[in-house]
């Protein structure tokens, strides 16, 4: 296994983790909407979910960049 293969597989794992985070955000918002929370509670929930969503999106992007770089350099 070369360094490029490790870059590809590591990027794929990072992308999968980011995707799992994004799916968690979707589920968290759906649960919060169905719970019929008050405005302040919904705002607090959404602030937390947005922070996790941005981190998950960044992880997905970095993982995909690693996969592309590994493929290009291979």
Domain that holds residue 31: 3-68
Within a domain: 48: yes
Within a domain: 74: no
| CA pair distance 25, 54, nearest whole angstrom | 10
Nearest to 29 by CA among 47, 54, 49: 49
pLDDT digits over 14-37, tens only? 999 999 999 999 999 999 999 998
Give the count of domains, the chain. Answer: 1
Q: Which two tokens mark 31?
A: 């649960």
Instruction: Tell me the C-alpha to C-alpha distance, in Å, between residue 40 and each of 1, 43, 46, 61.
Output: 52, 5, 10, 32
| CA pair distance 7, 3, nearest whole angstrom | 6
pLDDT digits over 32-59, tens only? 999 998 999 999 999 999 999 999 999 9
Within a domain: 62: yes
Q: Which two tokens mark 73?
A: 């350099």
**pLDDT score at 74:** 87
């Amino acid at each position: 296994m070369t360094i490029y293969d490790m870059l590809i597989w590591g990027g794929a794992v990072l992308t999968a983790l980011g995707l799992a985070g994004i799916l968690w955000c979707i589920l968290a918002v759906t649960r919060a909407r169905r719970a019929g929370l008050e405005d302040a509670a919904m705002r607090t929930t959404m602030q937390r979910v947005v922070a996790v969503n941005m981190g998950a999106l960044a992880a997905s992007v970095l993982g995909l960049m690693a996969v592309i770089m590994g493929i290009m350099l291979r």
